[in-house]
Amino acid sequence: MSETQERPTTARLEAFSDGVLAIAITLLVLDLRVPPASDGPLLNQIGKQWPFFAAYAVSFFAIGVMWVNHHALFERIAHIDRGLLYRNLALLGGIAFLPFPTDVLATYVRHGGSNGRVAAGLYGFTMMFIGACFTSLWLHVGRHRDLLERPMTDEALRGVVVRSSVGTAIYLGATLIAGVAPIVALVLFAGVALFFALTRANV
């Protein structure tokens, strides 16, 4: 029992994770820049910045859905071990990193050629990394069932792992399509977040 008490409680781990997610989602706004008056009519300037608004909306929505999934995961967990702790830290590292590829994608999405492809690829790769962290967390829980608050059936566990892998696979597909058409990839990235939002039957 003494050993249990020395483990970080899920409460404080969730609070820390919530903090990182809330900050990452709010820092996205710093990617938006006020156009200088010398650059012409404000309305035109804001219109030209549409990729920044689109990328803001997509990443905001994606982090929001990640928060819901993170919550659904940790609600099932009663105890934390080191494997969970550092897998969660890797996940947070990916999410906290997201404002950067969002900014890169918004800057380069209209560029044809390799720059647009690299930008969309960096965004997609970050999303795949985050998806893989989620899968890895669920697999770890599957191998250490004693961490769970209540028992889960093999079937239920397989369901969440499959769902998380499907998301990662769609991100892979979107990233490959990004090689041809970065704007299509942006739409696909939004679609994956929507997929995760809509398939959470239990929320």
Site stretch for its own copies (CB under 8 A), options 113-121, 124-132, 162-170, 173-181: 113-121
Q: Which is nearer to its own copies, 56 or 134 (CB)?
A: 56
**124 with 175: CB under 8 angstroms?**
yes
Q: Which is nearer to its own copies, 155 or 203 (CB)?
A: 203
41 binds its own copies (CB under 8 A): yes
Q: Which residue pairs, CB below 8 angstroms and at least 24 apart, start in 92-98?
A: 92/17, 92/20, 92/21, 94/126, 94/129, 94/130, 94/133, 95/20, 95/21, 95/24, 95/63, 95/66, 95/130, 96/20, 96/23, 96/24, 97/126, 98/24, 98/28, 98/59, 98/62, 98/63, 98/126, 98/130
Per-residue contact flags (x/-) with its own copies for residues 20 to 39, judged by CB under 8 A = xxxxxxxxxxx-x-x--x--
- Binder to its own copies among 56, 123, 134, 171 (CB under 8 A)? 56
At residue 160's C-alpha, the angle toward residues 193 and 142, to 5°, is 140
Residues that bind its own copies (CB under 8 A): 2-3, 5-9, 12, 14-16, 18-30, 32, 34, 37, 41-43, 46, 56-57, 60-61, 64, 67-68, 71-72, 75-76, 80-82, 85-86, 89, 92-93, 96-100, 103-104, 107-108, 111, 114-115, 118-119, 122, 150, 197, 200, 202-203
